[in-house]
Amino acid sequence: MEAKDVTWRKAARSGSNGGGCVAVAFSSDGLMAGMVQDSRSPERGHLAVTPGVFRALLESIKRGELDL
């Protein structure tokens, strides 16, 4: 599945202040649970991961393990 074949969503809190933000998309075929891209530079590509990897990423974010 190509990134152009899905609908990308950006968090409502991202706003339009020019800051960096990510967009996510989910495939309907269930093979790739999530795709992540830089919403300001979508031409640079995207990261596609399996359901388990995407779930682990979200859990790490929620626990604050990836905070700078």
d(CA 3, CA 37): 9
pLDDT of amino acid 63: 95
Q: What is the pTM of this model?
A: 0.61
- Per-residue pLDDT band for 37 (boundaries 50, 70, 90) equals confident
d(CA 20, CA 31): 28
- Per-residue pLDDT band for 19 (boundaries 50, 70, 90) equals low
35 close to 6: Cβ distance less than 8 angstroms: yes
pLDDT of amino acid 50: 83
**Residue 18 clears pLDDT 60, i.e. is over it:** no
